[in-house]
Structure formats: structure tokens, C-alpha cells
Amino acid sequence: MNKPTDNKLLSAFPEQSKARLFPQLKLVKLPLGKVLYESGQNVVSVYFPANSIVSLLSVMENGSSAEISVVGNEGVVGTAVFMGGESTPNQAVVQSAGYAFSLPAAALRSEFNSELLVRTLMLRYTQSLMAQMAQTAVCNRHHSIDQQLCRWLLLSLDRLTTDDLTMTQELIANMLGVRREGVTEAAGKLQKLGVIDYKRGHITIKDRTKLESLCCECYSVVKTETDRLSTYANTL
């Protein structure tokens, strides 16, 4: 059974904030592909993933899109509500099915404004999210599809409690903003190397160490920022 403390941000909140916010949390099921926000939509509720992963996508006028960051149990979806905006410029789509805790945006905004420790946690998380966005842009521009896929798989693994991912190549291609054929080729290489096993929309990581060795430096940069947040949260 999922509980609020499965989310690292919620778990790190001070007790007085938990007492105010936890009664307002609602456990919601997030099926694969569900759109939580459209670009430009007002954020009414924020989501704290428990065992799901949400992708933030930049969507072009022609409908093409590319993932700019992922949010799992380390964070929250809907940072616009405490960063001075009422709407988000990105689309938020469930990348890995599971559960999350929703909270009225007004409740989080009020707690952010009144509680220093919550404000510090949320700003540090937002900093790590911005670092992930910047590194993703660099990776998409300078690194191969093979390396991008490795980075994407590792970031997903860090946010799950299993080595199995339910994901079609078409959805991965949409996330990375590349052609499906490129993902098929990259996944095939990893399978031949014994790094993953891919069949019928399911990816199983067989050799994480090898996967990390094949990845570009972008993964480690993002992980370092995420770990810095976790280290700080654990000292509260």
C-alpha cells in the first residue's frame, strides 16, 4: 500500500507541515500515457509520485515533442504553483504507470509561503530539476541516440523499485524526440550486449553496470544534483 512518505519530498517535510498537508492528500492511479497537464494549462493540483514516473515534455506547434525532464518519487509535478506562475509551459505525461499523491495547488503554495523548511526543500528540488532540463538539452544536441537511451533508462531505474519497465519503443521515441527506427536500433544493440531484454513493450535491465559504462556523462551530472537534494532532506 502506497503511503505519502514513499515520496522523498513529502517524507522530508517538517511534522507541522505533514499535519496540515497529509489529510489533504489523495492517492490517485496514474495509467501509462495519462496527460496530467497540457502546455499552458492552469495547475489546480500538484502530484507527488509514489511509484510512478511523469515526463515533462516540450510540445511544438506541429505536435512533435521531446522530453525535457522526468519526475519520480524524488519530486513533485507542478512546480509552477510555487515559482510564481499559475500555469505550466510543458505537457506532463505519465511515463511509468503507478500511483501518486495529489494535493490542491493552493495548499502547497500556502505551505511554501509560510514554512521555511518546505520552501527550502522545494527550491532545492527545483534547482535539481532545472539542472536535469539543461543537461537533457545538451545530451539531445551532442550525444548519440544510443547514449540518450542509456541515460533515459538509468534515470527511470533510479525512480523505480524494479528493474522492469513497461514501455513501447514508440513512446520512448516520442520522449527522446527521435525516430522510432533509431530507438529500435539502439535497443537492439543493448540487447545483443546483454544489457537489456526487450519484448512486447517490456524492458528488463540485465546489467546496470554495463549500462552505466555505455552512458554519457549527462546521467552522472543529473544524479549528482538529485543526490544532493536527498542528502539535504535526510539532514532535516
The pLDDT tens digits of the residues spanning 95-130 come to 999 999 999 999 999 999 999 999 999 999 999 899
Please report the pLDDT score of residue 60 as a whole number. 76
Among 44-53, 206-215, 225-234, the least confident range: 225-234
The answer, as to whether pTM is greater than 0.85, is: yes
Task: Give the pLDDT mean for 75-103.
Answer: 90
The residues near 115 (Cβ < 8 Å, ≥ 6 apart) are 14, 16, 17
In the chain, CATH 2.60.120.10 sits at 4-116
Region 140-221: CATH code = 1.10.10.10
Please report the pLDDT score of residue 200 as a whole number. 76
- The answer on pLDDT for 44 being more than 90 is yes
Mean pLDDT of the chain: 88
132-148 per-position pLDDT tens digit: 888 888 887 888 889 98
Q: What's domain 4-116's superfamily in CATH?
A: Jelly Rolls (2.60.120.10)
In the chain, CATH 1.10.10.10 sits at 140-221
More confident residue, 184 or 111: 111
